[in-house]
Amino acid sequence: SGLAERILRDLRPGPPSAALLGLLLSRLWESRSGNLLTHEAYDRLGGIDGVLAESAERFFAGLPEDDQKRARALLLQLVTAQGVRQSLLCDEVVAAAGGGPGTKEVLRRLIAAQVVTLSGDRVELARDALLAAWPRLAAWVDQGRDALRRREELESAALAWTNAGEPADGLPSGPQLAYFAPAPARSRSAIRYLKAARSRERRSRWIKRSSTAAVLAVGLIGGSLAAWDWVQKERSEKLAKVAQESLQAQPSTGLRYAIEAANVADTEVTKSVLKDAIRASRARAVLKNDGKLNLALFSPDGARVLTAGAGGATLWGLEPLRLEGTLRADGLVTRAAFTPDGRQALTLTDYGQVAKWDLSSGAPGKIESM
């Protein structure tokens, strides 16, 4: 006597489940003494929780291996790191456990086996005590406690991020994002949270790689430029040597080589040889103030050369070498250029003054200043 009251008391809290009660009575009947359901049989079965745990283990053992993995993933979604069951949306649980028709079917079978209960659109473990009564589930929780804890922290962080308006600077990155890796997102907010964080992390890595590549490229370019500068310096010095050797017998040829050497590389050697070439050609008018010569270039037809420096530029005719005129300017001429037909020239000073010169007849004449 009193077994019915004991069973109803053990079924609390909450209203008794007809399916669970039916499972218990079926097992008690199998363990009856004659035609009596006894307290002794109830105790041997481990009460309601023992019957439920035995039924859950039998159900799990009968699943194919893939479905066993799905069942484990589903059940762990319904447990906290503290070993307490929780009620969650059915769709979220299925999605977090891998999704797909196979996962949905395993959940349906867990419900039919009374391991999980369905109320509206939410599911939960049938009883809290199942966590202690079913050794397999208890072992899963113990083994996965760290991942469960991280999942709860993820859900909490995602909820706070959502409530704050989903700010970009509220997303995890680096070690913090890696910390959440073993914790698959369950809620929609957690899924958005991780998706946004991973997207931001990828962009950051891309920017970092691009920056690194840019630095490497600059380094490689710098190295290439350094090598190119060395080659150009070697070439300019060879040209300067030829210019120096030509000055006595062929001043105009020496000047050509000296100008070419200076154009290849602006070094102390090429500057010195160019000055020597100009002096040898009695072209000292180009050396103003401290004698700084800034540039020299040939006309398109190669018949004339324009040298420029402090105070202006000088136009020279070649073959024979002759002074054709001076293009005076205030300041240092830093740039100069011939027009394609060689009939005009442009000069630019360090003060920003631009002048156009007519070279078509006799002495150069300034056309305009800009």
Q: What are the tokens at 55?
A: 């039924």
Residues 365 and 251 in one domain: yes
pLDDT of amino acid 138: 92
Last residue of a domain, one of 94, 123, 143: 143
Pairing of strands 116-119, 322-338: unpaired
Give me the mean pLDDT over the 54-81 stretch.
92
- Rounded to whole angstroms, the Cα distance separating 53 from 136 reads 9
Do residues 112 and 197 both lie within one domain? no
User: Burial level of 58, CB count in 10 A (0-12/13-18/19+)?
Assistant: exposed
| pLDDT surpassing 90 at residue 326 | no
DSSP state of 63: S
Does 20 lie in the same domain as 139?
yes
- Last residue in a domain, options 123, 143, 163: 143
Highest mean pLDDT among 22-26, 128-132, 235-239, 284-288: 128-132
Report the half-sphere exposure of 52 (CA within 13 A, side-chain side).
27
3-state SS assignment for residue 47 = helix
Note whether residue 250 is domain-resident: yes
Region 245-270: mean pLDDT is 72
pTM, two decimal places = 0.50
In a domain, 364, yes or no: yes
My answer on whether 161 and 131 are in the same domain is no
Does 284 have pLDDT greater than 50?
A: no
Q: Does 224 score more than 60 pLDDT?
A: no
Which band of pLDDT confidence, cut at 50, 70 and 90, is reported for residue 63?
A: very high
* CATH at 247: 2.40.128
Same domain for 160 and 249, yes or no, is no
* Overall average pLDDT of the 322-340 stretch: 79
Q: Are residues 122 and 170 in the same domain?
A: no
Residue 285 banded pLDDT, cuts 50, 70, 90:
very low
Shared domain check, 183 and 314: no
**3 state SS of 361:** coil
Mind listing the pLDDT tens digit for each residue in 243-257? 787 777 666 667 766
- Same domain for 177 and 274: no
Q: Please report, rounded to a whole number, the percentage of residues in the chain having pLDDT higher than 90.
A: 14
The reply to whether 8 and 136 lie within a common domain is: yes
Q: Are residues 299 and 321 in the same domain?
A: yes
141, 147, 153, 156: CA torsion to nearest 10: -70
Consecutive H or E run containing 235:
helix 188-246
**CA angle 72–73–74, rounded 5-degree value:** 90
Total structural domains within the chain: 3
Band the pLDDT of 283: cuts 50, 70, 90.
very low
Q: Same structural domain for residues 363 and 316?
A: yes
Q: In whole angstroms, what is the distance from residue 52 CA to residue 20 CA? A: 8
Give yes or no for a contact between 145 and 81, defined as CB atoms under 8 angstroms apart.
Answer: yes
Range of the domain at 192: 153-202
In a domain, 69, yes or no: yes
Mean pLDDT of 323-339: 80
**How big is the chain, counted in residues?**
370
**Would you say residue 227 lies in a domain?**
no
Pair 98, 192 in one domain:
no
**Cα(183)–Cα(150) distance, integer angstroms:** 6
Which residue in this structure is represented by tokens 């996962």?
A: 103
- Count of Cβ atoms closer than 10 Å to residue 171 Cβ: 20
Q: Is residue 217 part of a domain?
A: no
Which residues share a beta bridge with 125?
116
Mean pLDDT of the chain: 78
In a domain, 314, yes or no: yes
**Quick check: is 100 in a domain?**
yes
**Location of structure tokens 């993820």:** 154
Alpha helices in 16-144 (DSSP H): 18-30, 39-45, 47-61, 65-77, 90-96, 100-112, 130-133, 135-143
In a domain, 272, yes or no: yes
> Which segment of 93-107, 197-211, 230-244 scores lowest on mean pLDDT?
197-211
Q: Compare 281 and 342 and report the one with higher pLDDT.
A: 342
Boundary of a domain, candidates 143, 165, 193: 143
Place of tokens 């002759």: 322
